[in-house]
Amino acid sequence: MSEVSPDNRLNELTPQEWLKFTKTWFIHNPAPRKKAEVLHPAKYPEDMIEQFVNFFTKKGDVVFDPFLGTGSTLIACYNAQRNGIGIELQNKYAQIAKDRIATKESQLQLGQSGARQHVKQLVIEGDSTKIDEQWKKFSLPQINLVITSPPYGPMLNKKGLASSKREEEGLDTKYSDDARDLGNAPSYEEFLKRLTLMFADLKPKIKIGGHLVVILQNYMDKGNYTMLAWDFAREMTKYYQFRGERIWCQDNKTLYPYGYKYSFVPNVHHHYCLIFKNLQSEEQSEKKE
């Protein structure tokens, strides 16, 4: 049985576990959502996030999610014994996240998994585009890993078969009508600009050598395939080193007859898990020259 190398500076995985994670695609079909979680239009699975947390951090490290939603990242951090910080703009989702964490912590029995008692999960209701304000207000520490799935505003605002079904069931099809919500940016270009600037402002809060994992999709919009993941990756290289991608594939999603009988329209059942590294400023400058 392989052991963790004492020279492993990044994580606590065995060589076999490390190697398996480096494959650039994987299939993960999320379990059905619980009642409180189904309200959110774009929740991602805790057990998948936990794999990324386990690869890019060690126990006790700090993980940050600037678009927390219903708290999936913090649940993953709790399970992996990492400290988690999440910011969520909307009260209804922030409250769900707090309730989920409280439920998890209340299940911890005396003498069971004692190490978890020393990690904290913090839900902040606020605006991630004002990073400096949040850090000063809560005296937040340096981050080892950022992992998040940003609000795909232009995609969520589209009307399609899937969103119509959620509407019929009385579920949210977008995050909010709040002007501060990146999902409500007036254009694709503005959305991309605001999103990238948020990560640029976050750079000083991330430890040198720390990583970011940003989960995005490309999508169809008015007949054009919008390259959100690729456009975002290009913009992010102004601030971070792009380390590659892992493509998350789902093979249990409903297939809709988009474009049937007249044109190819893809059922997009994969996400790009884009991986970046925070280099020292001089290293980043040398890389760009």
Question: Which carries the bigger pLDDT value, residue 161 or residue 187?
Answer: 187
Helices within the chain (DSSP H only):
15-21, 46-56, 72-80, 91-106, 131-138, 153-156, 161-168, 188-202, 228-236, 281-288
- Is residue 205 within 8 A of residue 130, CB to CB? The reply is no
The pair of structure tokens assigned to 133 is: 């304000």
- State which H helix or E strand residue 201 sits in: helix 188-202
pLDDT score for 109: 47
Q: In Å, how far are 163, 188, 191, 227, 273 from 151, measured between CA atoms? A: 15, 12, 9, 15, 14
Residues paired with residue 247 on neighbouring β-strands, in sequence order: 25, 272
Residue given tokens 């386990």 in the structure block:
54
- Window from 20-29, 179-188, 226-235, 273-282 with minimum mean pLDDT: 179-188
Interval 40-64 mean pLDDT: 89
- Looking at mean pLDDT, say which of 113-127, 128-142, 163-177 comes out highest: 128-142
Closest CA to 184 of 160, 151, 161, 227: 151
pLDDT score recorded for residue 247: 98
DSSP 8-state code for residue 118: G
Confidence tier at 280 by pLDDT (50, 70, 90): confident
Kindly report the pTM of this predicted structure. 0.86
Domain boundaries, the chain: 25-288
pLDDT, tens only, 108-124: 544 455 545 578 999 99
What average pLDDT is seen over the chain? 86
pLDDT number for residue 169: 47
Its CATH class, for the domain covering 25-288, is alpha beta
pLDDT tens-digit map of 257-266: 999 999 999 9
pLDDT band of residue 37 (cuts 50, 70, 90) is very low
DSSP label of 249? E
Q: What is the model's pLDDT at position 105?
A: 84
| pLDDT the model gives residue 33 | 54
